[in-house]
């Protein structure tokens, strides 16, 4: 009789933190709309210096 | 609201600042290119004070090569809440090839000294790195260079010839070369997985694919909201079109209603709408909204975008989208 072979399932890649953060931010932006835009990262210069 | 973002380009006078702010109803995002002495900015801030007292919210941003930043400048920036971005084109051996003094001495060491001063004062707003024929084949080296130097707010731009600097045609890369570069940068950003690393173009695309609404200007489809003001107060369109007659919208001393009804401004807005309409059925319209008025079109009056630009933007968007979908995030 053959011994049972244990087959381990490959672990799915964990979702990168940068994408989880982006997903969370996207949800917040959708909920708060323009208000979030005006009070948000602009004030910290996040998207500020375009050129 | 007349314009969202105002670039004070070239040799703007401080007095134009107060006129600009006076035409705005609420929030004013003022971007300066650092080309004047400190007195200019002191005057500008003083003029702004009048409007701030009336409740207007004004944000000052400045883009510089940082070579002449001194403790005195730093004190001024800190006291007046300026955020300062720096132009840095990568490691010394590359940067010094394209950003050097008239005597051919490279500016890298001075730029890094300026960045250190800004960083110590916590007003450093990241770097803009031009991608050209000199560096486009080295995305990994560039990415690692910035991370190793703890520079984590990044923006990569494709060198373009817009006619008001020295001849840069030999440095201009194709849309395909730029897309190749950005795709590797995206992969490296994902692999590093450091939430402190901000790459604005990539994060715009990621945000939009995930249902957000934060956009770089090139994905807004609102090029009419970006203007440049010159020393005589004249208002032109985005500074990618320096002093282009078809985008002369008036003067900061004009009545607001006159600027709003300016025929060239109306024509430009109609053109942008036509472009958006033309692209409406594209799967990626929700991201690019017709794209950058400068980069995506052969001529200012073109309605149909350049196919080479579109193809490579789509390739870039598809790459990012596929990666996000692989994690079941959309």
pLDDT at B83 over 80: yes
pLDDT score of B116: 97
Best residue of A13, A16, A24, A37 to probe chain B, by most B CBs closer than 10 Å: A16
C-alpha span between B295 and B248 (Å, rounded): 20
pLDDT score of B177: 97
Instruction: Report CB contact under 8 Å: A19, B329.
Output: yes
**pLDDT tens digit string along B294-311?**
889 999 999 999 999 999
pLDDT score of B230: 84
B208-225: b (≥16 Cβ within 10 Å) or e: bbbebebbbbbbbbbbbb
C-alpha span between B184 and A23 (Å, rounded): 21
**pLDDT tens digit string along B57-81?**
777 888 889 999 999 999 999 999 8
User: What residues of A are in contact with residue B214 (Cβ under 8 Å)?
Assistant: 25-26, 29, 37, 41, 47
- Looking at chain B, the whole-number percentage of residues with pLDDT higher than 70 is 87
pLDDT score of B240: 86
> Is residue A26 domain-resident?
yes
> Is residue A32 domain-resident?
yes
Instruction: Report CB contact under 8 Å: B216, A13.
Output: no
> Is residue A29 domain-resident?
yes
> Is residue A51 domain-resident?
no
* Domain count within chain A: 1
Q: Calculate how close chain A gets to B278, using CA atoms only, in Å.
A: 26
Six token digits for residue B91 = 């490691």
pLDDT score of B286: 93
Q: Calculate how close chain A gets to B210, using CA atoms only, in Å.
A: 6
Contact B9, B33 (CB under 8 A): yes
> Is residue A5 domain-resident?
no
**pLDDT tens digit string along A5-25?**
666 666 667 999 999 999 998
Instruction: Report CB contact under 8 Å: B214, A25.
Output: yes
pLDDT at A2 over 70: no
B48: confidence class by pLDDT, cuts 50, 70, 90: confident
Contact B165, B33 (CB under 8 A): no
pLDDT score of B167: 65
B162: confidence class by pLDDT, cuts 50, 70, 90: low
- In B80-199, which residue ranges form alpha helices assigned H by DSSP? 92-98, 108-120, 139-148, 175-192
pLDDT score of B27: 45
ipTM of the complex: 0.83
Which of B153, B189, B210 is opposite residue A26, by nearest beta carbon? B210
- Nearest partner of B275 among B243, B249, B239, B301, judged by Cα: B301
**pLDDT tens digit string along B223-247?**
888 888 887 889 999 888 888 999 9
Average pLDDT for chain B: 87
> Is residue A25 domain-resident?
yes
Question: Based on C-alpha coordinates, what's the Rg of chain B?
Answer: 20
> Is residue A28 domain-resident?
yes
Write out the residue range of the structural domain in which residue A34 sits.
15-39
**pLDDT tens digit string along B119-149?**
999 999 899 999 999 999 999 999 999 999 9
Instruction: Report CB contact under 8 Å: A50, B207.
Output: no
pLDDT score of A43: 43
> Is residue A31 domain-resident?
yes
pLDDT score of A28: 81
């Amino acid at each position: 009789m053959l011994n049972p072979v244990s087959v381990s399932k490959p672990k799915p890649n964990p979702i990168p933190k940068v994408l989880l953060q982006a997903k969370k931010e996207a949800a917040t932006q959708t909920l708060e709309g323009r208000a979030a835009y005006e009070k948000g990262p602009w004030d910290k210069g996040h998207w500020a210096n375009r050129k | 609201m007349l314009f969202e973002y105002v670039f004070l380009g070239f040799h703007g006078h401080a007095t134009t600042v107060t006129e600009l702010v006076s035409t705005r109803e609420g929030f004013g995002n003022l971007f300066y290119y650092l080309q004047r002495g400190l007195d200019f900015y002191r005057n500008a801030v003083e003029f702004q004070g009048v409007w701030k007292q009336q409740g207007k919210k004004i944000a000052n941003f400045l883009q510089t090569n940082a070579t002449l930043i001194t403790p005195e400048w730093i004190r001024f920036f800190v006291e007046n809440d300026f955020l300062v971005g720096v132009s840095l084109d990568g490691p010394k051996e590359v940067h010094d090839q394209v950003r050097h003094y008239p005597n051919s001495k490279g500016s890298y060491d001075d730029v890094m000294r300026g960045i250190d001063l800004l960083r110590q004062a916590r007003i450093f707003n990241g770097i803009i790195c031009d991608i050209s024929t000199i560096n486009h084949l080295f995305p990994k080296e560039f990415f690692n260079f910035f991370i190793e130097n703890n520079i984590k707010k990044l923006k990569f731009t494709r060198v373009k010839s817009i006619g008001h600097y020295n001849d840069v045609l030999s440095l201009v890369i194709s849309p395909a070369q730029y897309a190749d570069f950005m795709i590797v940068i995206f992969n490296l950003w994902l692999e590093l997985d450091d939430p402190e690393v901000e790459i604005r173009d990539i994060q715009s695309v990621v945000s939009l694919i995930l249902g957000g609404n934060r956009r770089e200007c090139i994905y807004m489809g609102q090029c009419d909201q970006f203007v440049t003001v010159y020393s005589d107060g004249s208002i032109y369109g985005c500074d990618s079109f320096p002093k282009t007659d078809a985008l002369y919208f008036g003067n900061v001393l004009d009545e607001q209603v006159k600027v709003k009804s300016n025929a060239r401004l109306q024509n430009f807005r109609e053109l942008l709408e036509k472009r958006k309409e033309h692209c409406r059925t594209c799967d990626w319209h929700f991201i690019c909204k017709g794209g950058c008025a400068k980069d995506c079109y052969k001529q200012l009056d073109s309605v149909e975008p350049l196919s080479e630009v579109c193809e490579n933007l789509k390739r870039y968007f598809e790459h990012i989208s596929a990666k996000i979908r692989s994690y079941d995030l959309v």
